[in-house]
Chains A and B, each alone.
Chain A
Amino acid sequence: MTNDQIRQAILQIISVIAPDEDLTHVKSDVPLRDQLELDSMDFLDIVMELRKRYGVEVPEADYGQLASLDSCAAYLAPKLKDK
């Protein structure tokens, strides 16, 4: 997946987890938490959906890497390069 595809995939996941959030204006360089109402349970779900959909494991110590769409893309790119 390209970095852009990863950003799209994360947005797609968030739309399933939090269908009540408006995702049309999410900025990719700003922490998701600053733009959306997401709590720790929701972040766990992003990790769980990544595992369910792409077989990617994100250890708890790395949850911080998923702060913004850009940091997600940078962190996940090596893990998703063949997907």
Chain B
Amino acid sequence: MIGDRRIRVSVNGTAYEVGVEPRTTLVDFLRADLGLTGTHVGCEHGVCGACTVLVDGLAVRSCLMLAVQADGSEITTVEGLEGPEGELHPIQEAFLEEHGLQCGFCTPGFLMATYEMLTDDPKPDEDEIMEVLGGQICRCTGYQGIRRAVDCAIDKLGGTRPADVFGAGGPEGPDAPDAPDADPVGADGAGEGSAR
């Protein structure tokens, strides 16, 4: 038995300092230790993309990263997309309106991959969109609804950075709190939603 390691991470703006076993993947840490079950765990070998989250602003497979490797990072999960009153993010609204989901299992991954793409480039071209969506697997929709949802999200955002939709201080926004400065809370305080 390998002892736990203390790690400090900021997830959706909330700072956590917790112990994790070194072999724990980031997705299992988010779901089991922090109770953030919005991130789904699918294939667990990097193929399906259901577990995609943002680590320091980059969309990554959270099944292909250990929680200990996230020490010091800022993480955004699908729970971090909602507004201060619990309202849906425009990207989520776009998926809803354009039937970008059916069973919803793959949706958190699609949302986070789209979020990074539109942060990077508010008007991505067709190739860029198809490449990013190609990194995520959906077994319900046939992808056409998802493809339309991305266009709809681009329109809804109208050039606004996804992080700035609910004002500065949203996930990955310029005023997002840094983990070391925020009050660390234990894993017991997890699942309370994001701090804003």
A binds B: no
The chain A residues found within 8 Å of chain B, CB to CB, are none
The chain B residues found within 8 Å of chain A, CB to CB, are none
